[in-house]
């Protein structure tokens, strides 16, 4: 485990053991972090994704959230997936990896006091919901970007965790899918945000920053202790 501290921000490259296998992640914990966001990607590239890195940076800067960018696949599994696309469609497999990461965070002395939020991307959004249902006491909020949520449609009726779905305004097929999903989720704390003129990957100017703003506020509110939630609600109401 490699440690680097800068201005009281803890940065680590962490290794999580899965029996004889290992997956790696990049953990960054700001001082007085209000919660930790786990980035879930459907391939093994999450830790190296420029877009994910930028989003994680904005979440830390805007709301003081800790982040972990984790490779849900080993290097060998990712190499296989690049050829066959086998693992990225195995939502149950990805969710089991995400559960392992969640358990590791609650055993790690650095992160065990932090409430967890899941940030799911594309097909990994389905894995996020399955993992959250398996660890409902540990996961405090879910945000999905361009999520293929139809892959777990039968499980959505059990979701009580606050859920924010973010979709680009030009991503018509995903809009319809997420509209159906938000109607199925029974929790009162749910929201669908459609960012105008944004595409599936939010590559348009300003669109990924809007994703970060919406997600950061959602996580900050639902991952903070009760007394801090009240202060945050008051601050939002006076903006």
pLDDT (tens digit per residue) in 172-225: 999 999 999 999 999 999 999 999 999 999 999 999 999 999 999 999 999 987
Of residues 45 and 95, which shows the higher confidence score?
95
Asked if 72 and 46 count as a contact pair (C-beta separation under 8 A), the reply is: yes
- Residue 130: phi and psi, rounded to 5, are -65, -40
Cα-only R_g, the chain: 17
Residue 51 has pLDDT above 60, yes or no: yes
Neighbours of 87 (CB within 10 A): 20
Q: Could you please report the per-residue DSSP string of the chain?
A: -EEEEETTEEEEEEEEEETTEEEEEEEEE-TT---EEEEE-SSTTGGG-HHHHHHHHHHHHHH--EEEEE-SS-HHHHHHHHHH-TGGG-HHHHHHHHHHHHHHHHHSTTTTTSPEEEEEETTHHHHHHHHHHHSTTTEEEEEEES--GGGGGGGGGG--S-EEEEEETT-HHHHHHHHHHHHH---SSEEEEEETT--TT--STTHHHHHHHHHHHHHHHHHS-HHHHHHHHHHHHT-
CATH number at residue 198: 3.40.50.1820
- Residues near 142 by beta carbon (within 8 Å), at least 6 away in sequence: 117, 118, 120, 128, 129, 132, 159, 161, 162, 163, 164
The answer to whether the predicted template modeling score (pTM) of the entire model surpasses 0.75 is yes
- Give 131-171 pLDDT, tens digit per residue: 999 999 999 999 999 999 988 999 999 999 999 999 999 99
Structural domain of 126: 2-237
Q: Any residues with CB less than 8 A from the CB of 205 and at least 6 apart, and which?
A: none
Q: Could you give the number of structural domains in the chain?
A: 1
Distance from C-alpha of 73 to C-alpha of 41, rounded to nearest angstrom? 10
| Arithmetic mean of pLDDT, 227-233 | 48
The answer to whether 224 touches 140, Cβ cutoff 8 Å, is no
First to last CA, the chain: 42
Q: Which range has the worst mean pLDDT, 26-30, 34-38, 49-53? A: 49-53
**pLDDT tier, 229 (very low <50, low <70, confident <90, very high otherwise):** very low
Cβ-based neighbour number of residue 111 at 10 Å: 21
């Amino acid at each position: 485990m490699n440690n680097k501290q800068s201005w009281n921000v803890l940065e680590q490259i962490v290794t999580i053991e899965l029996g004889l296998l290992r997956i790696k992640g990049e953990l960054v914990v700001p001082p007085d972090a209000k919660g930790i966001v786990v980035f879930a990607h459907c391939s093994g590239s999450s830790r190296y994704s420029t877009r994910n890195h930028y989003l994680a940076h904005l979440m830390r800067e805007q709301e003081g959230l800790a982040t972990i960018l984790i490779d849900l696949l080993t290097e060998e599994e990712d190499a296989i997936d690049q050829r066959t696309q086998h693992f990225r469609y195995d939502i149950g497999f990805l969710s089991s990896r995400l559960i392992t990461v969640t358990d590791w965070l609650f055993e790690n002395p650095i992160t065990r006091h932090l409430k967890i939020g899941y940030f799911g991307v594309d097909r990994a959004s389905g894995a996020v919901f399955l993992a959250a249902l398996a660890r409902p006491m540990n996961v405090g909020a879910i945000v999905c970007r361009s999520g293929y949520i139809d892959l777990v449609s039968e499980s959505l009726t059990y979701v009580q965790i606050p859920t924010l779905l973010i979709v680009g305004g030009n991503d018509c097929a995903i809009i319809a899918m997420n509209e159906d999903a938000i109607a199925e989720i029974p929790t009162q704390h749910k929201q669908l945000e459609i960012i105008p003129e944004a595409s599936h990957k939010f590559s348009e100017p300003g669109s990924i920053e809007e994703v970060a703003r919406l997600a950061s506020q959602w996580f900050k509110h639902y991952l903070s202790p009760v007394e801090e939630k009240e202060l945050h609600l008051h601050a939002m109401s006076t903006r």
